[in-house]
Structure formats: structure tokens, C-alpha cells
């Protein structure tokens, strides 16, 4: 038996991006590719790479690598083409005789972080070009690029650590998911938590007596990301801390998943208690 649950279906039928926005995105990608190839050709045709060039390359590489790997930005890229709403599928698990949940998180809200990343990468590439002639110009461009990338990261990286597809198994052997392997008798509760951005719900008013356009854009972005930052956690009996089962979910999906997991755990406990003694010993 298999069933599929997707929360927030009206939001899933999103309006298609206007043609001008799609054209602008493709132009930006082509522009970045052109500059990337230009930098590669320039460095390859140079007389040689000295210590200064290696240091600049290391700094540029760190500006890109740290958000991707240290701050789990790769999870954002892996779910880049996912829908705006999270979903999960429940079906029988022949390997354990229980129930398997395939959970797919929602993608991170990407605008206006995407233009900031594009500007930051463009500045990094140009910093490599001008850095061969002026160290001061490299430092200036590099710092501005770090600001753009850093602001973009504040939009898309909250909750990125848990924004990945997961498989949850519930059987008489217990609850298993990634590093979590908890026996049924140890499960105290399954909860819905919210680890995304905490945003003031009060409206913002632009103008001389209000706030800047940048602040309004950041607040709007935070609210969009907040709606995709729910998670389902599990807590063991006698412990205060909880383990992460699935993250990057929309609220309806998280609550539905927690409810289904609770039912599956109760059913597994009943099956274990009513199973013959010989069958229980074999497990």
C-alpha cells in the first residue's frame, strides 16, 4: 500500500515566471559563464602563477567553498529544483516488515538571494583579473563580494543542514533515519519544530517615517523562508534533547508527517505486543 501526501496544494500550482525574468536569469548565467572562461583563459595564458596568485585563488575558493560545504549550502543546491511545498510518501517496507516514509523537503526561497550570489561571483572573478595588477583593487572587490555572498547566505542557509530528502523506517525494530536508530520502547514523542527564521509579523511601512526598501525585501524573504523551515523531531524517553528526523518542510507537511509517524509507531507497538513469543525472539 502506498500513499502520497503533499501539503499546501494551492501553493504548488505556482504562477509561471514571466518571460522577461527567465530571459534575465539566462543572460546572467551566460554572463557568469563567459567571465569564468575569461578568467580561466587569462590565468592559463599568463607567464606563471606566483605566490600572490595562489593566495588570491585560495581566498576566492574559500569564499565559495565555505558556504557550500561548511554551512551546508550543497543541500540548497541539491533541492534547487524541488517544489515550493514539502511532501512525503508512505509505503510498506519489505526489508523490515514495517512502514517506510520517503520525505522530500521544499526548496529554499531563492529570490532575492540569487541576484546577490550572481553579483558576488561576478565580483570574485573580476577580483582575480584586476588582482594581477593591483592588490588594493583585489581587496576592495573581494570585500564587496563577501558582503553580497554573506547577505545572500542569510536568506537561503537557515535550515540548510536538514534540507535534504530522507527515508524514515518504522517497524517493530524501532524508528530508523540516518544516524537515528531508536527502539520503540524508547520513543517518548514525535514533535513538529520550527528552526527557520523568526520574523516579526507586524507589517512594515516604507517611506520617510518607515523603513528602507532593503529592509522590506529582507523581511519578505525571511517570511518566505520561515514557511519552509519546519522540521519533525523525535525524543527518547528520559532525555530532554530531540533528534532530527526530517527538515526543510512546510507546516502542513510537517504536521501530517508527525501524525503519520505517531500512528505507525503505535501500530508497530501493537504488532510487537501481539506477536507470538517465538516471532518476537526472532526479531
CA-based torsion, 138, 122, 105, 9: positive or negative = positive
The CB density around residue 241, as the number of other CB atoms within 10 Å, is: 7
The confidence score (pLDDT) of residue 10 equals 38
Question: In this structure, what C-alpha cell is assigned to residue 77?
Answer: 543546491
User: Counting every residue, how long is the chain?
Assistant: 283
What are 167's strand-pairing partners? 102
Evaluate whether 109 touches 156 at the Cβ level (below 8 Å): yes
The set of long-range contacts for 50-59, using a CB threshold of 8 Å and a minimum separation of 24, is 52/131, 52/135, 53/131, 53/132, 56/127, 56/128, 56/131, 56/138, 57/128, 59/142
* 182: helix, strand or coil: strand
The confidence score (pLDDT) of residue 226 equals 80
The confidence score (pLDDT) of residue 182 equals 93
The confidence score (pLDDT) of residue 14 equals 40
**Distance from the Cα of residue 95 to its chain's centroid:** 29
The confidence score (pLDDT) of residue 211 equals 52
The confidence score (pLDDT) of residue 274 equals 83
Q: Which residues of the chain have pLDDT under 50?
A: 1, 5-15, 44-45, 196-201, 204, 216, 279-282
The confidence score (pLDDT) of residue 145 equals 94
Outline where DSSP puts E strands in the chain.
Answer: 2-6, 87-93, 98-104, 166-171, 174-177, 180-182, 187-194, 230-236, 242-249
The confidence score (pLDDT) of residue 199 equals 43
Report pTM: 0.70
Amino acid at each position: 500500500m502506498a500513499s502520497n501526501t503533499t501539503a499546501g496544494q494551492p501553493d504548488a500550482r505556482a504562477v509561471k515566471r514571466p518571460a522577461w525574468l527567465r530571459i534575465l536569469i539566462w543572460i546572467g548565467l551566460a554572463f557568469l559563464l563567459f567571465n569564468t572562461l575569461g578568467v580561466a583563459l587569462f590565468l592559463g595564458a599568463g607567464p606563471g602563477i606566483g605566490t600572490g596568485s595562489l593566495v588570491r585563488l585560495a581566498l576566492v575558493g574559500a569564499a565559495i567553498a565555505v558556504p557550500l560545504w561548511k554551512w551546508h549550502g550543497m543541500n540548497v543546491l541539491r533541492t534547487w529544483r524541488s517544489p515550493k511545498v514539502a511532501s512525503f510518501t508512505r509505503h510498506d517496507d519489505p526489508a523490515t516488515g514495517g512502514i517506510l516514509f520517503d520525505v522530500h523537503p521544499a526548496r529554499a526561497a531563492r529570490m532575492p538571494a540569487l541576484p546577490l550570489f550572481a553579483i558576488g561571483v561576478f565580483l570574485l572573478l573580476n577580483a582575480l583579473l584586476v588582482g594581477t595588477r593591483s592588490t588594493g583593487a583585489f581587496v576592495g572587490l573581494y570585500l564587496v563580494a563577501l558582503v553580497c555572498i554573506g547577505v545572500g547566505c542569510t536568506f537561503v542557509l537557515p535550515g540548510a543542514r536538514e534540507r535534504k530528502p530522507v527515508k524514515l523506517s518504522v517497524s517493530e525494530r524501532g524508528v530508523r533515519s540516518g544516524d537515528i536508530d531508536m527502539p520503540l520502547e524508547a520513543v517518548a514523542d514525535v514533535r513538529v519544530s520550527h528552526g527557520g527564521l523568526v520574523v516579526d509579523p507586524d507589517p512594515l511601512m516604507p517611506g520617510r517615517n518607515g523603513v528602507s526598501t532593503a529592509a522590506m525585501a529582507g523581511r519578505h524573504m525571511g517570511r518566505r523562508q520561515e514557511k519552509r523551515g519546519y522540521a519533525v523531531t523525535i525524543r527518547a524517553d528520559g532525555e530532554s534533547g530531540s533528534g532530527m528526523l526530517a527538515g526543510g518542510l512546510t507546516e502542513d507537511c510537517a504536521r501530517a508527517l508527525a501524525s503519520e509517524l505517531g500512528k505507525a509507531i503505535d501500530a508497530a507497538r501493537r504488532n510487537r505486543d501481539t506477536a507470538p513469543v517465538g516471532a518476537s525472539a526472532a526479531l
